[in-house]
Structure 1
């Protein structure tokens, strides 16, 4: 009798965990869609393709301000200022303090491996990434990938006067819990 009750309890706990995880994923996708719709609406109202911000470009913390398109994955993702859990629940997080397109320095975008950056491991050298902001659209070509410790902080640094786009997510991709490593993608502006 005790073993039957124990098995029943384990099944209930397991089902509860699966329901919670499913709810979290749906909740994140909902917020991501809402943020993306707001950003796309805002970008469609912006004037022209100036490619240089008309004023200092300083999005507010938690604010959606642009999109990241990954053509190979057929993804258009919202970019939100900040990389804390609340920001990352809305989309790709721009690491505060790093640069923006045309500012000739390092731009760092972070995302969850199981939501926005779910298939970035499929990307290869030469694949393109496109950032769209209210002051223009900017294409980057992937140069390399690397895997580093989660403790590694030297990937975020100034690259002035050279512009570099860096995407970062947890690794391994299918790890349960806090992943011990980070998967980094480095891209440079397209020279077309």
Structure 2
């Protein structure tokens, strides 16, 4: 017969394994979801009057060649959705519009190499109305209380937000923010 402490230890090990399995399911599901939505962009008809897709649906394609990133971005920033893809903050500007287009992502998933971006680097955001080409202006670490980076503004900018530090176990206490200015808009437009 096993001692009570051995039984408690076994239960704790099993509980830990279950928690780990649940967490890994989201991380392992992300690449499969990304692959199945790799080229999906909503039709221009869904963009009338600045409306985005429903929450959780593909919004755009984010490409940053410097860091080897090419991912589908979804509408919304619900925690379960951010396990699949970076999310467009509902209510922020659409790609190329004259306000702040905000995209959030996990530091240990899709945005794990965001810290390598420097001023002058190119960021492409392909949406239903074409491809917005941005140029990085700044990349900085901020406190979460500095919410001014989420303000709409009046210039066409793209703001990428993730937690910081990148290689940290546990809740990250700060944010890493990349701000890029629109330099070109190409491709299809609403007809």
TM-score where L is the length of structure 1 = 0.80
| Per-residue deviation, 1:25 | 1.3
**Which residues in structure 2 correspond to 1:62-81 (within 5 Å)?**
62-81=56-75
Offset from partner CA, 1:110-160 (integer Å, 9 cap, x none): 001111101111111111110001210111011111111123322111221
> Which of 51, 55, 74 matches 1:58?
51
> Which of 170, 175, 182 matches 1:177?
170
2:59–2:88 contact (8 Å) kept in structure 1: no
What secondary structure sits across from 1:62 in the alignment? coil
1:91 and 1:10, CA in 2 relative to 1: closer, same or farther beyond 3 A?
A: same
Unaligned 5+ segments in structure 2 are 186-191
What secondary structure sits across from 1:56 in the alignment? helix
What secondary structure sits across from 1:187 in the alignment? strand
1:170 and 1:152, CA in 2 relative to 1: closer, same or farther beyond 3 A?
A: same
Offset from partner CA, 1:34-70 (integer Å, 9 cap, x none): 3x33xx1446xx68xxxxx972231222221210001
**Which residues in structure 2 correspond to 1:76-115 (within 5 Å)?**
76-115=70-109
2: CA distance, partners of 1:191 / 1:133: 14
2: CA distance, partners of 1:183 / 1:123: 11
Give the equivalent residue in structure 1 for 2:128.
134
What secondary structure sits across from 1:104 in the alignment? coil
1: CA distance, partners of 2:146 / 2:22: 31
TM-score where L is the length of structure 2 = 0.80
2: CA distance, partners of 1:54 / 1:80: 14
| Per-residue deviation, 1:7 | 7.8
What secondary structure sits across from 2:120 in the alignment? coil
1:126–1:141 contact (8 Å) kept in structure 2: yes
Unaligned 5+ segments in structure 1 are 48-52
